[in-house]
Amino acid sequence: MSHINTVISGTGCYIPEQKIENKEFLKSIFFEKDNSPIEGSGEDIVRKFVDITGISERRWVRKDQTTSEIATVAAERAIASANIDKETIDHIIFANNFGDILKDTIQADFLPCLAARVKNKLGIKNPNCIAYDIIFGCPGWIQGVIQADSFIKSGLSKRCLVIGAETLSRVVDVYDRDTMIFSDGAGAAIIEGVESDEKFGILATSMVTHAEEEASYLYLGKSNAPDSDPNVRYIKMLGRKIYEYSISKVPQAMKVAMDKSGVPIESLKKVLIHQANEKMDEAIVQRFFRLYGIKPDLAQMMPMNIHELGNSSVATVPTLYDMILNGKLQNHKIEKGDILIFASVGAGMNINSFVYKQ
């Protein structure tokens, strides 16, 4: 029987050149959300931060770069990787959360949407290439892939460009130690339909949104610094709440996708999870395998690049995948026929996942 398979035919990413190492924060003055100073030396604060998150450095864009600009670079690389004519792209789906924010400004810019800006920068003339943004928190790129899969399986599209890009360095509060978590980056993929008697590509998906108490776990709020202007707002999060939510809910969402795929858990080769926090990601993956009575080899099963790249929100998963495919992540490779599961969690609170046969 012939199938229309949704496959990732090309990938690309842009990793900013500017490295911000942890030593840059040794003299920073941090406050709690109640404006009380965080006690301890800079060395102690950074050491505790590394123990929890695993982040030793992150990448931030140059002053003259914007989210749509770095996204265009990743998109160009994905198009080249797929070796396609850019005019054959039916949809450009751009996952981001803050639009273009110029250095030293406080306004998010979504007009026009970033997908339209990328289409313009790529020089795509086809008016039937529909460009739009999605705001879905950190799981945005995976959500874009799931949407592309739906378009392809329903016959509404044959080929999509899905981008995840963010410049979180523009929305961090320098008086909040969470600043050390966030980074910038862009990842992109060409998603297209391929007809075959064999089933491969995206095998199953899952999505959930919890928006009662959980809706405010990530939000925009005033600086932690005393007497700060309440009208100037920065990215904020309730770290403990997010951790507890994620380790409780993400494994089950991943299991839904895995079970729907019909693939035995023993065949799973890699877990490509949003690079949010090393300890949290480890706990999620361990709990996921525990649902099947298995103790995973995390070093082999769960590739990570958060140590050097930090948390770039929607860009983490496509960047991680692209790096593995191109041999840029030590001790990890993906081969034809491998079974992968992609998963993410973030503001909303949203969780999504898909199982993929390479």
DSSP bridge partners of 273 = 343
Domain pair 3-196 / 201-357, same fold: yes
Report whether pLDDT(351) > 80: yes
Q: What is the pLDDT of residues 146-197, one digit of tens each?
A: 999 999 999 999 999 999 999 999 999 999 999 999 999 999 999 999 999 9
Split at pLDDT 50, 70, 90, the class of 106 is: confident
Report whether pLDDT(107) > 90: no
Q: Tell me, what's the pLDDT at 2?
A: 82
Structural contact between residues 159 and 148, judged by C-beta atoms closer than 8 angstroms:
no
Helix (H, G, I), strand (E, B) or coil at 297: coil
Q: Tell me, what's the pLDDT at 8?
A: 98
State what percent of residues in the chain have pLDDT above 90.
97
Q: What is the pLDDT of residues 300-331, one digit of tens each?
A: 999 999 999 999 999 999 999 999 999 999 99
Q: In the predicted model, what is the mean pLDDT of the chain?
A: 96
Average pLDDT over residues 46-66: 96
Helices marked H in the chain — which ranges? 42-53, 67-82, 114-122, 140-154, 239-261, 278-290, 298-301, 306-309, 316-325
Question: In the block, which residue shows the tokens 């980074």?
Answer: 183
Split at pLDDT 50, 70, 90, the class of 3 is: confident
163 conformational bin, left if phi > 0, alpha if psi -120 to 50, beta if neither? beta
Helix (H, G, I), strand (E, B) or coil at 14: strand
Q: Tell me, what's the pLDDT at 176?
A: 96
Nearest to 203 by CA among 160, 256, 144: 256
Average pLDDT over residues 17-39: 95
Split at pLDDT 50, 70, 90, the class of 83 is: very high
Q: Tell me, what's the pLDDT at 186?
A: 98
Instruction: Kindly state the tokens that stand for 222.
Output: 């005033």
3-state helix, strand, coil in the chain (%, to 5): 35, 30, 35
Q: ∠ at Cα 310 (235, 304), nearest 5°?
A: 135
Q: Are strands 339-346 and 350-357 parallel, antiparallel or unpaired?
A: antiparallel
Contacts for 196-200 with beta carbons within 8 Å, 24 or more apart?
196/2, 196/3, 196/5, 197/1, 197/2, 197/3, 198/3, 198/5, 199/3, 199/5, 199/357, 200/5, 200/7, 200/337, 200/357, 200/358
| Sign of the torsion formed by the C-alpha atoms of 308, 55, 320 and 263 | positive
Cβ partners under 8 Å of residue 272, min gap 6? 303, 317, 320, 321, 324, 340, 341, 342, 343
CA distance 76 to 314: 18
Domain range list for the chain: 3-196, 201-357
Q: At what angle do helices 278-290 and 42-53 cross, to 10 degrees?
A: 20
Class of domain 201-357 (CATH, top level): alpha beta
Burial of residue 345 (number of CB atoms within 10 Å: 0-12, 13-18, 19+) = buried
Helix (H, G, I), strand (E, B) or coil at 253: helix
CATH homologous superfamily of 3-196: Thiolase/Chalcone synthase (3.40.47.10)
State what percent of residues in the chain have pLDDT above 70.
100
Report whether pLDDT(1) > 80: no
Q: Tell me, what's the pLDDT at 105?
A: 87
CA distance 240 to 128: 45
Average pLDDT over residues 112-138: 98
Give Dmax over CA atoms of the chain in angstroms.
67
Nearest to 215 by CA among 233, 241, 234, 240: 241
Split at pLDDT 50, 70, 90, the class of 69 is: very high
